[in-house]
Structure 1
Amino acid sequence: MRCVIFGAGKIARGFIGHLLYLSNIPFTFVEKADALADLINERGQYTVNILGAPEQNCLVKGAKALKFNQKQEIAEAIAEADAVFNAVGGKNLGDIVPFLTAGIEKKAKKGGKINFVTCENWKKPADILRDGIAAGISEEARPYFEENVGITEAVIMRSAIESDAELLKKDPLIVNVQNFWELPVDASRLKGELPPIQGLKLIASFTGFLERKFYTYNAANGTVSFLGPCSAMKKSPMPPTMRGSLKSWTVYTVRPHALCQQNTTSHWMSNWRLPSPLSESYRITPL
């Protein structure tokens, strides 16, 4: 089993790469920024710090990356892979379509099924990739694409934050992440099976799952990130006033999205285990 990860940012390294490493599945990053790819290849490892649970910190070894100008190597890596993940940012999905298309065309000659899993905070990212690939795939590879290629979506509910300067000096690839371990994936779009990844949770009824996450979990992240500095919060636990604001706020957000308010609130609030002491630089950052 092998995997490819498009993007080598905080979520790609600190969640997807982390879970694959813990699952003993070899993987290769594909990164647009040459400097970041060079750094990964030079160091070959990076640290994942689990906020609030330092006993679960992990040194991910064997890290490697391909650059966008290595088109043949990228296509070959996709052809040899069982699954391809992407965490590049929704607005950049179009940039990776040509690479995915070339990889699928090479995979078609080798045979076997392959799944592509989007890990983006973006509406209908799987449809964007599928439509883009369908528009550019060769007629020779089209039957393979339609019958053997799954393009599905994951919901990313592990947040990542910036490391402080001292930690970055020791490990410029270090990632500080939330203590959350599940990777929900839309099972209905898969072709065959995904590799046995730690934390993988296949969801049969996935419709609206990702969009609802925007209005609950992501909105909660934004609320805490804004109210924390305003209240000069520097350590856990979360102040009662902030917790009360989140609870009352969910009454209005969950109803249009067919969610149970009590279950939804308790689920994402249970994942807000803030580190103590809380760094002054604590903030949620873009994927």
Structure 2
Amino acid sequence: MPEHSSNIAVQFGAGNIGRGFIGALLAKSNYKVTFLDIDEEVVNTLNKQHAYKIEYLDIEKGSREIKNVHGALTGSPAMIDAIHEASIITTAVGANILKFIAPEICNALKARATRSPNLRTLNIIACENLVGNTSLLKDLILKSLAEEQDETIRKKTESYISQHVGFPNCCVDRIVPPYKGDAVLDVGVERFREWIVDETEMKKPYPEIDGMTLTKNLTAYVQRKLFTLNTGHAITAYLGFVKHYDTIDQAIADKDICSTVLAAMKESGAALVKEHSSIFNKEDHEQYINKILSRFKNPHVVDEIDRVGREPKRKLAVNDRLIGPCNMAAKYGLPVDHLLRGVAAAFLYWVHAEMEEDKSEEEVRKLVVETTEWKGDDERVGRVIENYRELEREWKSKQ
């Protein structure tokens, strides 16, 4: 007897994050999960085994078998059939891949709207590490739909999406490092996981998923993660680069780095608690910071400095993990000494690791002003330059 559509899920992306995080939560919540991927070996193995193992990479060891899973190739008729019956679609493909899967989802929605119409609720959630993740996917789907030449199909699908499809943004957090297990589908993850979804953009009935938390103020949780986990992670990586460490756990084991990272997260935390006082309080946020720090120290999760530090220009964007908390703190007149040291380390990484060149102080100052959009006479610019010079001397002394 076929599964009822309310218990059927489709997960785009059968990589480590898809299998180790979102797909696993869906399967553990008694959903029949179809993973969609372009990797034929992974798809064939899923359809042969219908199960895989998760290993917990933590001080407290353990594993769990994930069952009732299936596979289908992206773009195949099996994909259309799976989406036709599903009540939830999730993605874990990387933000830059959404533009490629949006037309595939659009085609499946056309079929769902016009082929024996399934008018039950469907929620689509892009679980990518990107602010406004699902909004981006929705825009890409609607752009693809606008290219449909058959007016009847286009209008039916537009009406169907408007009435029956939810597109909630979300905030996801779980470290799923590169891992090689005994079998092809084995995946290693940390025990911690957080999946916060915007309730206001969902269609009822809401899916019941153990590990998914609904909120009416997603912005607060997005900023909490971005200005705590991502801030601390980035600063650990950039200060680790200065001292020529290879991995995050090596860097955070350095007492000076750990002290700076903790202080920086407390500075951003003070701003977050002020900004979102109706949701967060100082005591709970300090516990959150301490949990984040313990995750960085986990010796069983090997995360490379270069992986965490890559794309420093993006991470130095005005509203991102380094400049964002500095600006939020400025609203409340709060100190940012340690955050600015992290900012300086990020610029050092950008110049020496990515540009691979030396820059004069004036060139660095110009880069800082253009990137942060702070005025040239802003005291924060001067403090970044001071930290930059000091960190550069240290970096060069260890070469």
With the shorter chain as reference, the TM-score category is 0.7 to 0.9
How is 1:1-287 mapped onto 2 (pairs within 5 angstroms)? 1-52=7-58, 54=60, 56-70=62-76, 72-108=77-113, 109-137=117-145, 138-163=154-179, 167-168=180-181, 170-207=182-219, 209-224=221-236, 227=240, 230=245, 241-254=256-269, 258=275, 262=282, 263-274=284-295, 278-279=299-300, 282-283=302-303
Q: Per the alignment, do residues 274 and 214 of structure 1 end up closer, same or farther by CA in structure 2, a change over 3 Å counting?
A: closer
Aligned residues: 279
Deviation at 1:214, TM superposition (A): 2.5
Q: What SS does the aligned partner of 2:100 have?
A: helix
Shift of 1:35: 3.3
Change beyond 3 A, Cα 1:241–1:132: same
RMSD over equivalenced CA pairs, Å? 3.1
Moved more, 223-232 or 210-219: 223-232
Q: Counterpart amino acid of 1:283?
A: D
The 1:75/1:208 distance shift into structure 2, 3 A limit, reads: farther
In structure 2, distance between residues paired with 1:231 and 1:28: 37
For structure 2, the 5+ residue unaligned runs are 1-6, 146-153, 309-399
Deviations along 1:124-163, whole A, 9 cap, x unmatched? 1222121122233311221111111101122111111122
Q: 1:16 to 1:189 in 2, by over 3 A?
A: same
Moved more, 97-106 or 217-226: 217-226
Contact 1:93-1:129 within 8 A present in 2 as well: yes
Name the structure where helix makes up a greater proportion of residues: 2
* Per-residue deviation, 1:188: 0.7
Are the structure 2 counterparts of residues 180 and 232 from structure 1 closer, same or farther at C-alpha, using a change threshold of 3 Å? closer
Describe the SS at the equivalent of 2:218.
coil
Q: State the AA in 1 paired with 2:93.
A: V
3-state SS, counterpart of residue 97 of structure 1 = helix
| Aligned residues of 1:179 and 1:273 also touching (Cα < 8 A) | no
* Residues 1:139 and 1:250: Cα distance change in structure 2 (over 3 Å): same
Stretch of structure 1 that moved more, 185-194 or 237-246: 237-246
1:55 deviation in Å? 5.4
Q: 1:145 to 1:13 in 2, by over 3 A?
A: same
Shift of 1:234: 6.6
Kindly indicate whether the alpha-carbon contact (under 8 Å) linking 2:167 and 2:202 is maintained by their aligned counterparts in 1: yes
Identical columns (%): 22
